[in-house]
A and B are shown apart, each in its own frame.
Chain A
């Protein structure tokens, strides 16, 4: 596992495919009915570099969470390549992955469930150090814990060290979870809906914290369904639909000059703060089909407002589109 000096992207995903077998009963197994699969991720490629915040957006079932889990090797991909800091990690065994787990951390959605209620804040933030046998002496570890807490703006740390999770608010718990993630000094943070369970007035604080961590050189992959958050905080946005990235590019480019009809529709229905700025919503009918039966050709064609006959045949690849650098869309009509 070679470590580069940071020249290339932090994480590079190529043609990732992840499938789940649909659970079936004994009868179906005996009668040898064909096994159905949930095509959670069907050929996804993107990169995240140091100091970059990439937002993976999409509706539920689009495969964004599965993609994040695959990157962290929490689920096994069927095919594709995942490279971390230049080294291929797709097929590494769990033992070889252990040192890597230090460098990639996951932040969970639910701050009320992601901390062990029996551990104090100090114990929770110290645990990663103990697991990876870092920070030699107890004093050293304590220092690292204090530093991590300061970094997530739980200052002064002494006030929080001996508290238990149930004494903290949601925002504070999430900060503790982030502290526990950064105490190891990771290079990549994967944040799965980091603020969706927090109050609105608290979200910005946590997101700004992630932004500052990004400035410190961390790469951040943020999974979110909230386009407004992605628009404000991400450097790049990748829009997913039914297991594919249908559009990606610089955040402002994607948001102000969307190319793919799905992106356009999605952006048009996001409510705005200013009542005077209600744009004309393009409400797509129905909901996304389940990922077991993916439509033929372009997977979006059944709901697409500009679909033509060819769309049923051709499965478009991501091609450059729009004006921004690296702005791509997967649509034959762009």
Chain B
């Protein structure tokens, strides 16, 4: 039989990203927006992890006057307690990222599990799970976070949980849709008819197809989680013993940084939050785009083929 392996003669529709593993890596490699977002996130994460080592000053040490102006030794000035802003920001990013990642992890686990279960089993399971999802979707997040934080008491752990249980709904919907479509693919049905257990089918056949989308969704969720944390901290509901970027802004705000004109106490942390969210959005958005079926130019739509002068390979026959 044939040794020729390539599907010949057909128009080679290049979709190499799909057929190989590592769609995440490929996307980052190919799209500048994704690469940029990934780079920024990596940098910030590095700064956060190495804060204890890299921070120029001590976090609790007053090195100058309240709202000291930016200078060479303190490029971003001092905050309301005379603490170096750069140090504050590095430690702040740490907490913000930790909360962001942790809350996202919680939401991913909940949302992913519910999405897979609803999409895979369908029927009653699907209906019930989706009703639950709908209820959670309808709850307004910030008011709920305020109430829970107020009742339960502000602590990092509570914040993470609260954010987590509000964010999982969109993940669940997206994953459910994808799982539903993968479930119908012939090779999945084949595995079932071969006698593969549900576990095997889900882990070996369904999840690998769903994983890239889950990753994209996760990255986007991180952006929202960080925003939520910042908002909560700014409203004074964050953990008072931890400095997150939101807390930095809140402190400055409370201590009248604006009327004092100490922009360096408010703008940099706000800008940093914005940068983190932007980076996540770029990366996540690029991944999502890469996973959408490419809209191909249909030959029925565009009629702009080119003409070439007749090259002689003439046949002798009309």
Contact = CB atoms under 8 A, between A and B. Distances in A.
Interface of A: 72, 74, 97-98, 101-102, 105-106, 108, 110, 113-118, 127-128, 131-132, 153-155, 159, 163-164, 166-172, 175, 177, 205
B187 interface: yes
B5 A116 contact: no
A105 B195 CA distance: 10
A144 to B, nearest CB: 15
Given A118-B208, A164-B19, A167-B6, A127 B191 contact: yes
A131 B205 contact: no
A20 to B, nearest CB: 15
Give me the 4 closest cross-chain CB pairs, A-B, nearest first.
A101-B195, A113-B186, A116-B187, A114-B186
A168 B190 contact: no
B187 A74 contact: no
B1 interface: yes
Nearest to B19: A166
A131 B194 contact: yes
Interface of B: 1-8, 18-19, 21, 185-188, 190-191, 193-197, 200, 204-205, 208-209
Nearest to A115: B187
Nearest to A118: B208
Given A101-B195, A131-B196, A132-B195, A154 B186 contact: no
B4 to A, nearest CB: 8
B1 A106 contact: no
A180 B220 CA distance: 40
Contacts of A168: 5, 7
Contact of B193 (A72, A154, A163, A205): A72
A113 B194 contact: no
22 contacts: A74-B193, A98-B195, A101-B195, A108-B190, A113-B185, A113-B186, A113-B187, A116-B187, A116-B188, A116-B205, A117-B18, A131-B191, A131-B197, A131-B200, A155-B1, A159-B3, A164-B19, A167-B5, A171-B2, A172-B2, A172-B5, A177-B190
Contacts of B209: 118
Q: Give the most central of B2, B188, B191: most A CB within 10 Å.
A: B2
A180 B6 CA distance: 21
A223 B4 CA distance: 30
Given A102-B195, A108-B190, A117-B18, 19 more contacts: A101-B195, A113-B185, A113-B186, A116-B187, A117-B19, A127-B196, A128-B194, A131-B197, A131-B200, A153-B1, A154-B1, A163-B5, A164-B19, A166-B19, A167-B5, A167-B6, A169-B2, A169-B4, A177-B190
Contacts of A164: 19
Nearest to A163: B5
A21 to B, nearest CB: 14
A258 to B, nearest CB: 34
B18 to A, nearest CB: 8
Nearest to B8: A169
Contact of A106 (B18, B185, B193, B205): B193
Nearest to B1: A153
Q: Give the most central of B4, B186, B188, B196: most A CB within 10 Å.
A: B186
Contacts of B21: 118
A13 B109 CA distance: 47
A324 to B, nearest CB: 34
A97 B205 CA distance: 22
A188 to B, nearest CB: 13
Contacts of B3: 159
A110 B186 contact: yes
A110 B190 CA distance: 11
Nearest to A184: B194
A118 B206 CA distance: 11
B53 to A, nearest CB: 41
B185 A131 contact: no
Nearest to A111: B186
Contacts of A106: 190, 193
Q: Give the most central of B8, B190, B208: most A CB within 10 Å.
A: B190
A166 B194 CA distance: 22
A117 B205 CA distance: 10
A131 B195 CA distance: 7
A110 B194 CA distance: 17
Contacts of B208: 118
A277 to B, nearest CB: 29
Nearest to B200: A131
Contacts of A113: 185-187
Contacts of B5: 163, 167-169, 172
A132 B200 CA distance: 12
A98 B6 CA distance: 37
Nearest to B191: A127
Contacts of B196: 127, 131
A74 B192 CA distance: 9
A177 B186 CA distance: 11
B21 to A, nearest CB: 7
Nearest to A94: B195
A101 B1 contact: no
Contacts of A132: 195
Nearest to A104: B193
A155 B2 CA distance: 9
A110 B185 CA distance: 10
Contacts of A159: 3
Nearest to B208: A118
A68 to B, nearest CB: 11
Nearest to A155: B1
A202 B193 CA distance: 27
Contacts of B186: 108, 110, 113-114
